[in-house]
Structure 1
Amino acid sequence: MHIGQLARPAFKLQLLAASAAIAWQPATAQDAPPAGVPVAAEDEETIVITGTSRARAAFDTPLAVSTLNDEALARLGSSSQADILNSIPTIKADAGGGEVASNVFIRGLPSGGQFQFTPLMYDGLPVFSSFGLNSSAYDVYYRNDLGIERLEFVRGGVSNLFGPGSVAGLINYISRTGGDRHTGTVQLEVAERDRYRGDIAISGPLGGNFYYALSGFYRSDEGPIRTGLDTEGFQVRGNLQYRFDDGSGFVALYGQYIDDKTQFYLPVPLDGTTRARAPGNDGRDVFSVQNNFSFADLGFNTPDGPFESDIADGVSTQGGSVALVFERDFGGGWGVNLRARYADYDHKFGLWSDGDGLINVPETLQSFLTNRGLGSLANARFTFADDGSAMPADYLLFANRFTDRDRPAEDVTVEVNVTKELTTGSLEHTFTIGGFWGNATARDVNVTTTYLAEFNNRPRLVDLVITNPNTGAQTVISQGGLLNAGAGYVNNRHSVSRYAAYVADQIEADRFAFDIGFRIERFEGDILRERTSTFVTDTTTPDLAAALRDVIWGNGTFQQARVATSEWAVAVGALYRLTDDLNIYANASRGYFFPEIRAVTFNALGQPASFSAEIIKQAEVGIRYSSGRFSASLAGLYTRLTNRRQVLFVNDGQGGFREQVNIVATEAYGLEATLRARLIGGLYFEGNLTLQDHKYTAFDTAPANIGNELERQPNFLYNAGLYYDDGQLDAAIFTNYTGDNFTAANNAIVLEGFNVVNLDAGYRFGLGGERSLRFGINVFNLFDTDATTEGSPRQDANQTTGGAFFVGRPVLPRRITGRLTFNF
């Protein structure tokens, strides 16, 4: 039996229309920002549609706005979503895990990682309407491709009122849509360590006011780190859009289908002093302790039958989404926007851990025995599981775990709003009244397996038999590499319904803009969690240790609960134009986050803990300048979060895991600056800087942490780059700096700051008309920086320093990619 048999199979969307497109902006909002530089510094030409009732220039909005055009996305997205988001001010994103499950940290907010404060959207529709049904990130469901026109990240003002809502910011990727002529791009990509990828994006008219856009990719990759566990899959997205003759709006069908698997890397043992990669038994530096083992040999019996791991599939996603959007201006200033989306995914997340939950670092043969009370090496026989040969006495062992996590998910999102434009005196108003509804359900079935292996790249499994020196009796500790059968089991089903209503007014005058809005929302969640027991599942194999004979498994009884709460948000923003090139702005908001439903705990009577929203208050005041050659901004930031239910996935001390919940409060101050300057001809400089000071102001489980800085949140971030494009030759060299930060809230371990430098260059050949061919090269991590992005989150405050090893996740190594791009 595989883990997929434990959960209800999700309905497979086999006949999805391969389409996705712009969700609700008017046609005037589809002009792409100028090419050449990655982050539009909120100039007059950049039109923003995210978090606003109507499209408007970024320079003239009291929101904080960052945008990336398609050229920038191509440069930045060399390894993951994190590489893109890292370029945005106030965001720190960890990319060491590979293509998916990026850990995204927003200015001064306490996150366990991933997208806990920032909904990920495509074309104005959230990838998933509610976060926290399990611990999978939004980006496991979607991949970027050539069909993306730009990215908008907005925060402040009324941006937290629309759609899924978030005071911390909305990440919205906007797709290309069809125009009056057929255009397209085909790209072939080859990278070191056997990565091959093909992309296509085409769009154009179909006649009769119908337009289409279609994009997709297929790629095969042995990984930036070779493990024998390959990445392979594809995605198709597109849209079919009908535009009304009078230009008043459109009706569109959007969709996406994905069938993909990708590997995910966790922290590994590093040198305890330098935190550089440590040598394995063969003398080579260890980049990963994963391997494509014979997982049938690591299977075991359960009360429901034999279990065999699917961990070799990595993070796999199959399924997709369809959406319908209607937008129309009915005249007289009245307009309607309707968006509805249905998504259904079969999703598994194969999680390789960073230790066995007991010792967590490599051990000598004798220390392995001593640490587990197994006696002397003279009475132990260590052999390699594949051929039975004896393991050398001077080799190191590394006991580790992996967790099969089966997470089918289903989601429905509907949003409708009505707008009314009117003029009162010198003021132009855009009133919006609307509602948002989301209903999401996800399973979370986890099975943890502990194994024994050597300490090497792509290690071999190890068997261990202990002989009692007095009686001669033998005990099998590890068999086929299996050290603990069924070390942990979880079977949860969480569902959430959200009902929100909002009203907003965007006011424009000659030199003044003012936004005000209000949102109220109801959250209802249902919890179903299976209890566990220990079962004896092997009574015939002689001499088995208890950890091989027994398994922790579901016993068929369940904890059930229903939680519900309501909250409100209010936001205001104002902007004053001092000159045509200079303005000042401010925004303030009182908002909320609903706790992750997976964080709900039960007391001894089986009753759920109180469930109330987390309140966030923030303010920002800034100044912007933009001219033809130069633009810049400077802003001061304040954020306060209370009643935060912080969820950490940590070791339980017995070889399994538990979700630790801390009730915390935080406060942060910050300074953000951006600068773009055209130096000469097609040469630009682009950069941004974030300074922040943050601390815990409450911490229920560890009061000593009050006053400490937030874990994994640096005080200093910057991006800087030079970009050149003369129409034929383009080149860019840019760096992202992450400052010093702490591994855990106790502030005991500091990770040093580091730069990751990237290079991108290409040459275009004109082929007549709109056709061109570009030969390009991209180098991720140009100088092969070997910094540590995080410690061991599963050890949390229990991780220490001073030993021979330190468990941490390094930056991914340098990788060179060649690209051939044909535009037509």
Structure 2
Amino acid sequence: MLSTLMGRLMIGTAAGAMLAAGSVAAQTDTSAAQSADSAQRAQPDTGLIDTSAQNGDDIVVVGTAGGGTRRQDASFAVTTLGNDAIERAAPNSTADLLRTVPGVMAESSGGQNGANIFVRGYPSGGDAQFVTFQYAGTPIFAPPTLSFLENSQLIRLDETVQRVEAVRGGTGSLFSNGQPGLTVNVVPRIGGSELHGLAKVSYTDFDEIRGDAWISGPLGENTGFMVGGYYAQSNGIRDPRYRAEQGGQITANIHHDFGDKGSVEIYARYLNDRGQWLLPIPVVVDGNNTSQYPGFDHGTGTLNGPDTRAVQNVVGRTVDLQDGRGAKVINTGFNFDYEVVDGLRVRERMSYMGGNADTRGLVPAEAPVAASVMATRLAGAGATVSSLVYADGSGALATGAGTPVLRAGIWEVRKKISSFVADTALEWTAGNNKLTGGFYYTNFTSRDQWALGNQVLLTAEPNARRLDMGVTSAAGTAQQATLRGFTSGPAFQVRGWYEGQDLAFYAVDEFQITPELRIDGGIRWQRHIVDGTLSTPRTAAQGGNVNLDGNPNTLYDNSVTVLGPLRNIRYRDDAWSWTAGVNYDFSRSVGVFARYSRGNSFPQFDNLREASAADIANNTGLAVVAEVDTYEGGLKVSTDIANLYATVFHNRFDGLATTTIINDVPTSSNGGAKATGVELEGVVRPFRGFSLAAAGTFLDGTYRDFFTGNGLIDNTGNRVQRQPKWMWRVTPAYELPVGSIRPSLFATLQYTGDRFSDPENNQLLPNFYQLDAGVSVTVADRIRLQVTGNNLTDELGLTEQNPRIIGGQGQGVILARPILGRSFRFSAAFEF
């Protein structure tokens, strides 16, 4: 393992050293930008009204060749959020913070993990297919999304984070892993010349207790350290009556500045955190109005409970739902930046991440129905209920055949993952030109074990209980529909080992024609390689499903999947990306930009698992490389009183290929889309202590030649699923110092327009508002007391209906996933 890793280190470094450099120029001196960024990251917090990300002088690294640039000078759409802005947003998860970014629709209703994130009308059925998370400028995990794993699952926000940067489109298709959608860079604190630290404890009204701490300071001249993290535990807002949320994260780094020559930074981060995977619950739909199902609180209810936590399924395996969805990973790396001679810099970014990212959840299959209706679904038309008892042996149900029941699958997905990334670049600056050439290499693996299906019969109530049902068939035969509550065994299984590699060369040129006018352009060539060995359920020709006990009257095991023979995947393809942009500054405070970019998205493990051998050989179907063309232009205004960032964009997407689990079976979707939109982001500071921040998005995104249901359903002209036409948020904040005490008030009102949960546009998600607010008191710049409230009106806002079926659910009782209910967090922090 060590020799392999050292070999990759040598490959990355040697390839970068072989790059030829030409002459170019920076708009802003690179070493000055680095110094400003280091100084910014070393500063302690000074209050709630965040100045970073409110002026154009904050330095952003994401979307650049590596040296960073002023946000006001960036010729692409980028949002930056400082530590205080993150605290004011009070996100429920890492993905939840992205609600603050224009052009991004983030659904965090699934809990700490399992978010769905959508960008600028890019068509996607879920997870975060076009979102890459970086830590300290390097991708945490090279593939943006695998089934049951998106990047935000692999990192948590805590007090060690200095700021978060998010770039949409623009230059993202050239740098890092070539993400054409959204690249999010989490920037950690670093140590400076003085000792600083923070200790913080917080408590919620749903009994979460959490501790955060960090300390930073000097280790020597020009060398600093930082170490910190958090630990938290609770049952969660949706209480399953057991410890569903538990874990923490610890981060450490050492940073050394070589004066004006550059810097080196080494870091390590360990995450061990799990949480309940929150899934759809019963709600009631009447027209466009939604209300909660009787007895099932829309903001706090969950089907999970003690009776379903750890049970043995039909094939004898016990799955503990307390393990939920989370990650146990270590991430280490270093960043090196040095000016070798005047005008010539070398940069190296390298990281390794490895560990486990498992998912276990109770996945509902259908809306509640009477037990008598369920009997016909399990045993055929004309079947009746002969017995209905609790599966734990505690007795029969008094209501019998009229009892509302539903089925939910106990799903288990285990993933052992790793990712190595090396990004080497040379930058040559001369006169008004700057040329950057680089080499990117990554190797990533995933060892998968899936068991989906495993449906269990439940009472339709919070903390549902398992039921055993006996039935009498239409022919009068006595049958047993369940075993320990289970109505079926595993319906879809995977045993697989995958390895992927990406190799890319990129070159970017910037030319400052005049002090006001700058143009830039760049290209990237990337080769994508995947090898895999896997087994999926046997086909009918291979013997199909089996009856485990040979008894046709024990219905629960009559059709259990069996893994088929091993098969291999071998995929190879490459593609070019490019971009060209222009930036014109009327003054240091006012500028405009325009850009065109072509990006690519390669098929990852899950698509290739379901692709045919012919598609893999010909790079077609599910093995196609998706292409994204983006046209965008923007206005940037940064003054002492106000900031405004406005972007207009149009993108065309061709070659989308993805699979979703429909009725426990992978189902393909293929095609393209187009989208036109406007993104607005800004803040006004009319008088001292008060700020009014706002962000909004208009999006007109529709499918083009897009087919779902394995090519049977044409969705051309339908709206891209789960992305609203209108979305906006307004955040007023007021801070009034009184001597050494600084009380602060802040609130956010967010509007999410109507959307469709499915590409067929049959499952409507009505618009809703969400109100969050808080108050904070800082004493002598050392002690901060804060209360934050989320969803103060306890709004019932839906983020998805039932994504595991094709078609609408009709009116009345349906399955849907609402946002989390009203909650409050109380915190006390001491900073020095």
TM-score past 0.5 threshold = yes
Q: Distance in 2 between matches of 1:184 and 1:547?
A: 58
Hey, what does 2:508 align to over in structure 1? 504
The 5 A counterparts of 1:187-226 are: 187-207=200-220, 209-226=222-239
Pairwise CA distance, 1:209: 4.2
Of 482, 501, 515 in structure 2, the residue corresponding to residue 478 of structure 1 is 482
Paired position in structure 1 for 2:642: 630
> How much has 1:167 moved relative to structure 2?
2.4
Report the CA distance between 1:702 and its aligned residue. Answer: 4.6
Which residue number corresponds to residue 407 of structure 1? 415
| Aligned partner of 1:396 among 396, 404, 413 | 404
C-alpha distance in 2 between matches for 1:368 and 1:285: 27
Q: Which residue of 2 aligns with 1:4?
A: none
Aligned to 2:143: 130
Aligned to 2:26: none
Question: Counterparts in 2 of 1:235-246, with a 5 A limit?
Answer: 235-244=249-258, 246=259
Determine whether 1:362 maps to 2:372: no
* Cα displacement string for residues 115-139 of structure 1 (whole angstroms, at most 9, x for unaligned residues): 2112111110111012344431112
Secondary structure of 1:158's counterpart equals helix
User: Do structure 1's residue 669 and structure 2's residue 676 form an aligned pair?
Assistant: yes
Match of 2:662 among 650, 671, 674: 650
Q: Which of 316, 322, 328 pairs up with 2:338?
A: 328
Q: Look up the match of 2:24.
A: none
Give 2:38's aligned amino acid.
Q
Please show how residues 267-278 of structure 1 align to structure 2 within 5 Å.
Answer: 267-273=280-286, 274-278=289-293
Q: 5 Å matches for 1:671-820?
A: 671-700=678-707, 701-702=711-712, 704-727=714-737, 728-766=742-780, 772-795=782-805, 797-802=806-811, 804-820=812-828
Query: Which of 356, 371, 380 is equivalent to 2:377?
Result: 371
2:196 matched to which residue of 1?
A: 183
Q: CA deviation at 1:535?
A: 6.7
Mapping of residues 37-436 of structure 1, within 5 Å: 43-53=55-65, 54-207=67-220, 209-229=222-242, 230-244=244-258, 246-273=259-286, 274-280=289-295, 287-293=301-307, 297-301=311-315, 306-355=316-365, 360-373=366-379, 380-391=386-397, 392-393=399-400, 394-423=402-431, 428-436=432-440
Q: Tell me how far 1:294 sits from its aligned partner.
A: 5.6
Structure 1 contact 715–739 (Cα < 8 Å) conserved = yes
Greater Cα shift, 139-148 or 308-317: 308-317
| Aligned equivalents of 1:659, 1:539: Cα separation in 2 | 27
Q: Distance in 2 between matches of 1:714 and 1:207?
A: 52
Deviation at 1:461, TM superposition (A): 0.8
SS at match of 1:708: coil
Amino acid at match of 2:827: R
Question: Does residue 513 of structure 1 match 2:513?
Answer: no
Larger proportion of helix:
2
- Whole-angstrom CA distance in 2 between matches of 1:598 and 1:525: 11
From the superposition, tell whether residues 737 and 432 of structure 1 become closer, same or farther in structure 2 (CA, over 3 Å).
same
Structure 1 167/272 Cα, relative in aligned 2: closer, same or farther at 3 Å? same
Structure 1 residue aligned with 2:591, among 575, 583, 593?
583
The one-letter amino acid of 1:153's match is A
Distance in 2 (alpha carbons) for counterparts of 1:168 and 1:617: 11
- The 3 A distance-change label for structure 1 pair 543 and 373 is closer
Deviations 1:478-519 (A, max 9, x none): 122122122332222222100000011223341122221111
Contact map agreement 1:37 1:686 (CA 8 A) in 2: no
Q: Which of 569-578 and 502-511 deviates more?
A: 502-511
Residues 725-784 of structure 1, C-alpha deviations (whole Å, 9 max, x = no match): 245111111122111111212223321111111112110111xxxx61111001011111
> What is the deviation of 1:307?
1.6
8 Å contact from structure 1 (residues 133, 494) kept in 2 = no
**Which amino acid letter does the alignment assign opposite residue 751 of structure 1?**
L
User: Aligned AA for 2:766?
Assistant: E
Give the counterpart letter for 1:627 in structure 2.
T
The answer as to whether partners of 1:477 and 1:483 remain within 8 angstroms in 2 is yes
Secondary structure (helix, strand or coil) at the match of 1:408 reads strand
Deviation at 1:807, TM superposition (A): 1.4
Q: Is the 8 A contact 1:156 1:619 kept in 2?
A: no
The RMSD of aligned alpha carbons is: 2.6
- Take 2:585 and 2:322, find their aligned partners in 1: how far apart are those partners? 57
User: Using the alignment, how far apart are the partners of 1:42 and 1:646 within structure 2?
Assistant: 38
SS in 2 for 1:482: coil
Cα deviation for residue 538 of structure 1 reads 5.3
Change (3 A) 1:469 1:698: closer
- Counterpart residue type for residue 247 of structure 2: G
The DSSP-based 3-state class of the residue aligned with 2:291 is: coil
Q: Is the 8 A contact 2:292 2:298 kept in 1?
A: no
Encode CA deviations 1:565-589: one digit per residue, 9 max, x unaligned.
1111111111111233322211111
Gaps of 5+ in 1: 1-10, 12-23, 652-656
The CA deviation at 1:285 is 9.2
Looking at structure 1, the residues matched to 47 and 518 of structure 2 have their Cα atoms a distance apart, in angstroms, of: 28
Asked whether 1:528 is paired with 2:541, we answer no
Structure-1-length-normalised TM-score: 0.89
Corresponding letter in the other structure for 1:622: G
Tell me the TM-score normalised to structure 2 length: 0.88
- Say whether 1:545 aligns with 2:545: no
1:620 CA drift (Å): 0.9
Distance 1:584 1:458, change over 3 A: same
Deviates more, 1:401-410 or 1:46-55: 46-55
Which residue of 2 is the match for residue 450 of structure 1?
A: 455
**Distance change >3 Å, CA 275–CA 167, structure 1 → 2:** same
Confirm or deny: 8 A CA contact 1:131 1:596 kept in the other structure: no
Q: Cα gap change, 1:248/1:284 in structure 2, threshold over 3 Å: closer, same or farther?
A: closer
Aligned residues: 775
Q: 1:443 to 1:579 in 2, by over 3 A?
A: same
1:323 maps to a residue whose letter is: G
Aligned residue number for residue 6 of structure 1: none
Select 2:499's aligned residue among 471, 490, 495: 495
Match of 1:594 in 2: 602
Deviation for aligned residue 1:672: 1.8
- Relative distance call for 1:82 and 1:736 in structure 2 (3 A) is farther
Asked whether the equivalents of residues 276 and 787 of structure 1 are also in contact (C-alpha less than 8 Å), the reply is no
Deviation of 1:99 (Å): 1.2
Distance, in Å, in 2 between the alignment partners of 1:264 and 1:717 is 26
SS at structure 2 position matched to 1:84: helix
- Distance in 2, matches of 1:330 and 1:265, equals 52
Alpha-carbon distance in 2 for matches of 1:597, 1:318? 21
Name the aligned partner's letter for residue 798 of structure 2.
T
How far, CA to CA, are the matches of 2:661 and 2:546 in structure 1?
A: 27
Q: Secondary structure of 1:83's match? A: helix
Provide the C-alpha distance between the structure 1 equivalents of 2:130 and 2:297, rounded to a whole number of angstroms: 43
Q: Which residue of 1 aligns with 2:17?
A: none
Alpha carbons 2:48, 2:735 under 8 Å: kept:
yes
The AA in structure 1 aligned to 2:809 is T
